[in-house]
Amino acid sequence: EVQLVESGGGLVQPGRSLRLSCTASGFTFDDYAMHWVRQAPGKGLEWVSGISWKSDNVGYADSVKGRFTISRDNAKNSLYLQMNSLRAEDTAFYYCAKDFDPGDDFWNFPGGFDVWGQGTLVTVSS
């Protein structure tokens, strides 16, 4: 069974940092690009960041560029999101999602996602 499990969420003060992790199982992790998507309470979905299987194609939403860094460790079947300089507006459920494709094609990255984790809640508040 394909499964994605996020961890690392919690309560953090504005301006501080937090690192989210996503552990994958049930598929060959390094065959696929991966993404982070977030959803503020009561709001819609927002794509945050994506990374190709080789980490050579990476993208960020304008709202997080320069503050968040996506990375992956294929040997550990794990995806990460380092979040720095956190703001109240970063409060959200953060979902890990698996792409349909490896993400090699520069002009066709990112793709869509076929599997989602259950999410981890990040609350930024003093």
Partner 1 sequence: SYELTQPPSVSVSPGQTARITCSGDVLPKKYAYWYQQKSGQAPVLVMYEDSKRPSGIPERFSGSSSGTMATLTISGAQVEDEADYYCYSTDSSGNHKGVFGGGTKLTVL
What is the binding site for partner 1 (CB under 8 A)? 35, 37, 44-47, 50, 57-62, 95, 100, 106-119
State in angstroms the smallest separation of the CB of 3 from partner 1.
12
Quick one: CA dihedral 59, 112, 92, 71, positive or negative? Answer: negative
Contact between 34 and 99 (Cβ < 8 Å): yes
State in angstroms the smallest separation of the CB of 126 from partner 1: 27
Nearer to partner 1, 32 or 95 (CB): 95
Q: Least distance from C-beta 12 to partner 1, angstroms? A: 22
Q: Which is nearer to partner 1, 42 or 75 (CB)?
A: 42
Nearer to partner 1, 60 or 80 (CB): 60
What are the strands, taking DSSP E only, across the chain? 3-7, 10-12, 18-25, 34-39, 45-51, 58-60, 68-73, 78-83, 92-99, 113-116, 120-124
